[in-house]
Amino acid sequence: MHSALPKVLHSLLGRPLLGWVLETALELDPERIVLVTGPEGDAIEEAAREMVGERCELLRAVQDPPRGTGDAVRAGLDAVSVEEGAEQGVVLVLYGDMPLVRASSLSGLLQIQAGAGAGSMALLTAELADPRGYGRIQRDEEGVVIGIVEERDCSEEQRLCYETNPGLYVFDTKALLEVLPQLSSDNSQGEYYLTDVVELFVKANRRVVDLMLDDAEEATGVNSLEQMAEARWALQARILEQHLANGVRIEDPSTTMIDCQVEIGQDTVIQPFCVLRRGVRIGAGCEVGPFAHMRTGAVLKDGAVFGNFCEIKNSTIGPGSKVKHLSYLGDVTIGTKANVGAGTIFANYDGQAKHPSKVGDGAFVGSGTLIVAPNEVPAGATTAAGAVLTKSASMAPGEVWAGVPARRLGASKKSKEDTSSVSQTPQKEEGQL
């Protein structure tokens, strides 16, 4: 990866690479997850615990030194106490750098292993147009899997096989514990290959069943930044397809980036060149973009508009309110049917801390307004174009402020009309209808 950051902690559409695998595992409702790392994996463990939370027991096993995939599984099993009955049930082996595998494929693998009975194992296979780097599946004359050969140990004939081993297995735990001690490191790498377990199961007359992936893309592992980019494209397509299926109109999916865990309501339009980060929530009937950047904590209520070349972070735009052009919203709450003019900036950071601002219902913020937080533009109030609203400002509802620094000019036109309308209403005599 040519990076100081551990591979599985590289960010991928709103969560670490490892997070995609953990989320998939959690969909299967496991009793526990065992994370196998090297001795310097403290950061990985910390991130994994944060991602898993209270949803499942998480154990960490340390493989020191790293001696292959078979040794990694041994370390993982050693971390689980036999007194807890861990020798019963099954073990599902996953890899932290395979973000594209679907829970439905793993469920299918669990089902065929259960159908094969006690003492069995099951593995996923994939037919790849370019199988370079993958172990090759070996079958007997009846088509039963009898072994896996790592590419570096393949003969020229074996390299011609296009059915590959992604490395995803389900084992009867008790049977796996019996065969793991039989693994040998007599190979080109001097490692204990988990793939050799297949042959050991066959020799012990234990059933080995397999399930071929319908979508070979799920077998993709990430070992470089180039492969990370390829995985991102695949995951992005899934996210976009889901939003489209839910009634979100994405004008140009090829130029739209949406992280995981973004909520978008029906009939909302996402214009081209928008970036929506994890945690963004958008209501129904909204409009976003083009060229909009919505960061974590951004909320658009139903019917809100967030337009071109705007950025929003940790802020809420109320129902029917509009922020159309060239504005930055940081830590601000905007009420109902307010209007924020072009080029408005909410200066939320004073160099030491972030501060909130508020725009009330029906307020009108003029183009080029600079609002220094903490601050408030109350309901029905107006700022003139180019106003600088400092922290010492104290606007009242319906007032108009202008200038640098901004000062009160008077009541807004709408406020005056409302006052005039009230003053011209004749009082009714007692008992008059």
Catalytic residue set = 325
Q: Tokens 């077998």 appear where? A: 219
Per the document, the length of the chain is 433
Taking phi first (over 0 means left), then psi (-120 to 50 degrees means alpha), and beta for anything else, what does residue 33 get? Answer: beta
> What does the DSSP assignment read for 52-115?
HTTSSEEEEEE-SS---HHHHHHHHHHTS-GGGTTTSSEEEE--TT-TT--HHHHHHHHHHHHH
Burial class (CB in 10 A: 0-12, 13-18, 19+), 134: buried
Cα(200)–Cα(121) distance, integer angstroms: 11
Q: Token pair for residue 169?
A: 């297995």
Q: What is the dihedral of CA 99, 111, 55, 9, to 10 degrees?
A: -20
Closest CA to 182 of 173, 194, 166: 194
Amino acid in the structure at residue 173: T
Burial 212-245 (b: 16+ CB within 10 A, else e): ebeebbbbbbbeeeeebeebbeebbeebbeebee
Decide if 78 contacts 62 (C-beta within 8 A): no
Instruction: Report residue 388: phi and psi, to 5°.
Output: -115, 105
Decide if 308 contacts 292 (C-beta within 8 A): yes
> What does the DSSP assignment read for 305-360?
EEEETEEEES-EE-TT-EEEES-EEESEEE-TT-EE-TT-EEE-B-SS-B--EEE-
Burial class (CB in 10 A: 0-12, 13-18, 19+), 274: buried
Decide if 392 contacts 374 (C-beta within 8 A): no
Decide if 1 contacts 225 (C-beta within 8 A): yes
Beta bridge partners of 280: none
Instruction: Report residue 244: phi and psi, to 5°.
Output: -60, -40
